[in-house]
Amino acid sequence: MDEKRIEENLNRLKELIPVNHQLKESLKKRFKRNRWKKIGVAIIAAAAILLMVFSFGIKNLQDNLITKVNAEELKIINQISFISLGNINAGKIAEYNGTIYIPLYDKGIYKYDNKGFKKIIDKTSGEVGISLDGTKLVFTTRTSDGKNAIYIKDLKTGKETKIIESKDRDTYYSDPGFSPDGNKVIYTEQIIVPRETHGFEVKESNINAIDLKSLKVTKLADGSCGSFVKTEDAIVFERDNKIIYKNLKDGSEKIIDEGKNPSVSPNGYYIAYEKYEPQKEKVEDMNVTVSMNNIWIADAASFTTKKQVTLNVPKRIPPEVLKEKIQNYVTSSLYTYYWPVWSSDSKSIFVLKNLNEDIRGNTMQLMKIELSREELTPEEVVKKFLQAIIVRDEDFARVLMKNPPTIMTVSSPHPVAYEILGSGTEDGKPYVDASLTYGYIMNGYCSVINHVTICLLIAMAI
């Protein structure tokens, strides 16, 4: 870890935060107080909430249903990375009414709710889906003889039923999901063949649907990662790194955007997907190309608008690379976002987030992005920003800052608590006064410091 570079970034952060000396003098005998001024109230904000709040309140999430609007009109009202999976390799999850089902490739499928983790399926799997009524799971697994199969588990009775098994070891099943009426399962079937030199290649990739009563299999399209669209006789899927909408009545197809691993919201309004875009920047005298990975959403029927809902940053350039003074350098983003999946109420997106520069001991986390038509108030913006800083969700905290530094949360003393003291309007701009408590938490002991007052400009960036 480059301590010198971190210190330089922290110093730049301090330069972005002008001190309100008048407020400091009037309040210094009490707590540390932070003054936050928000710019652009009409634009959207995102931040994180405390892990403890989510863990104990998982079944008490607000129930403000999203009315059908264009994707660009949806506002990000919250983000949180709430489960750390470390180096464990997790796959595509499913969620229903606050309960999350997580496949861990070598360990089985686990249920996570406000009671914690519980293993519910011993079979190993890379993906799991859930019916719209929350009564059944569908998952892929490898059989004892090396073939592939798809199972359905009844969550009420616990019964597991195999609905299809591959004819040979070269046929792979993935991405299973239920139709809106629960009568069919959509899945990807791929034929894998070895290359002449080394490795494997996909010879054929089909999106199929199996009728759960007759067990008849129907091919729907060439591609992968298919989902049915509720109220429409249509599917959304991926082919050649493009998100495609197909009308099953007339067979017509429309490209929505570039991307992969699409997921259609249960209400049929929106599509979430991964997207990689090249980003070019100049670092000293070096031309840097970043393969930037983010999560986007798009309209599922009107195809009118698209919206980026994560804010990734480039991966840190190693000091030895900077010393070499090479002309061109290619790198990746700091985080990689995998497998966006909608919540059962269509208000949130769950995403696996991998830290590509493992400086804090956490490799993969599960992140939640909440969406709404409503805007956050200035006080809510400040609350969520402070909470994001406290839980070190710096990729979300950056969204609320104008020209944020690359590193924000690696610091000691580090914020450990806050209190909102009041709010109002000054010179036509809303403000919020808050106290922020710091703690030395990187040492073998913890101490708290007070009497710091700062003023931070907040830009609503997404």
**pLDDT over 60 at 95, yes or no:** yes
Task: With CA atoms as reference, report the closest residue to 22 among 377, 418, 426.
Answer: 426
Domain match, 240 and 306 both: yes
Mean pLDDT of the chain: 77
- Report the share of the chain in percent with pLDDT over 90: 40
Task: With CA atoms as reference, report the closest residue to 336 among 317, 351, 355.
Answer: 355
pLDDT value, residue 135? 96
Q: Which amino acid is at 338?
A: Y
Q: Kindly give the pairing relationship between strand 75-86 and strand 448-449.
A: unpaired
**Of 111 and 199, more confident:** 111
pLDDT value, residue 452? 38
Distance between CA 17 and CA 9 in Å, rounded?
13
pLDDT value, residue 216? 96
Distance between CA 141 and CA 166 in Å, rounded?
11
Distance between CA 241 and CA 275 in Å, rounded?
9
Mean pLDDT, residues 268-278 taken together: 95
Confidence of residue 292 (pLDDT cuts 50, 70, 90): very high
pLDDT value, residue 460? 36
Domain match, 35 and 164 both: no
Domain match, 446 and 343 both: no
Domain match, 4 and 79 both: no
Residue 196 forms part of a structural domain? yes
**pLDDT over 80 at 36, yes or no:** no
Question: What residue spans of 75-221 are helical by DSSP H?
Answer: none
- Residue in the structure block whose two tokens are 């580090």: 414
Distance between CA 383 and CA 458 in Å, rounded?
12
**pLDDT over 80 at 108, yes or no:** yes
Domain match, 366 and 443 both: no
Q: Kindly give the pairing relationship between strand 270-283 and strand 253-258.
A: unpaired
Mean pLDDT, residues 20-28 taken together: 48
**Of 414 and 48, more confident:** 414
Other Cβ atoms within 10 Å of 69 Cβ, number? 14
Residue 324 forms part of a structural domain? no
Contact 224, 237 (CB under 8 A): yes
Mean pLDDT, residues 336-357 taken together: 91
**pLDDT over 60 at 71, yes or no:** yes
Contact 63, 363 (CB under 8 A): no
Domain match, 19 and 73 both: no
Give 414's strand partners.
Answer: 439
Residue 322 forms part of a structural domain? no
Residue 386 forms part of a structural domain? yes
Distance between CA 40 and CA 44 in Å, rounded?
9
**pLDDT over 90 at 302, yes or no:** no
Residue 320 forms part of a structural domain? no
Instruction: Give the chain's domain count.
Output: 2
Confidence of residue 296 (pLDDT cuts 50, 70, 90): very high
DSSP string, 181-239: TSSEEEEEEEEEEE-SSSSEEEEEEEEEEEETTT--EEEEEESEEEEE-TTSSEEEEEE
Domain match, 369 and 461 both: no
pLDDT value, residue 385? 76
Residue 135 forms part of a structural domain? yes
Domain match, 337 and 196 both: yes
Q: What is the pLDDT of residues 400-446, one digit of tens each?
A: 666 666 556 556 667 777 788 888 888 888 878 887 777 765 544 44
CA angle 320, 321, 324 (to 5 degrees): 90
Which run of H or of E encompasses 225? strand 224-228
HSE-CB for 143 with a 13 A CA cutoff: 18
pLDDT value, residue 398? 65
Other Cβ atoms within 10 Å of 29 Cβ, number? 8
pLDDT value, residue 101? 96
Report CA-CA distances (Å) from 156 to 117, 120, 160, 222. Answer: 18, 12, 11, 35
**Of 30 and 279, more confident:** 279
Which run of H or of E encompasses 364? strand 364-372
- Report the share of the chain in percent with pLDDT over 70: 73
Domain match, 382 and 302 both: no
Q: Kindly give the pairing relationship between strand 260-264 and strand 270-283.
A: antiparallel
pLDDT value, residue 31? 38
Distance between CA 44 and CA 372 in Å, rounded?
10
pLDDT value, residue 281? 83
Residue 140 forms part of a structural domain? yes
- Of the listed ranges 78-92, 105-119, 341-355, the least confidently predicted one is 78-92
**pLDDT over 90 at 342, yes or no:** yes
**Of 240 and 323, more confident:** 240
Confidence of residue 231 (pLDDT cuts 50, 70, 90): confident
Task: With CA atoms as reference, report the closest residue to 462 among 399, 382, 393, 407.
Answer: 399
**Of 70 and 273, more confident:** 273
Contact 221, 208 (CB under 8 A): no
Confidence of residue 229 (pLDDT cuts 50, 70, 90): very high
- Of the listed ranges 72-76, 242-246, 249-253, the least confidently predicted one is 72-76
Mean pLDDT, residues 351-355 taken together: 89
What is the domain-level CATH number for residue 202? 2.120.10.30
Residue 327 forms part of a structural domain? no
Domain match, 27 and 144 both: no
Mean pLDDT, residues 306-313 taken together: 88
The residue range of the domain holding 435 is 1-44+375-462
Domain match, 88 and 218 both: yes
- Omega into 413 within 30° of 0, i.e. cis? yes
Domain match, 360 and 414 both: no
| Backbone φ and ψ of 321, nearest 5° | -70, -40
Q: What is the pLDDT of residues 147-189, one digit of tens each?
A: 999 999 999 999 999 999 998 888 999 999 999 999 999 999 9
pLDDT value, residue 394? 67
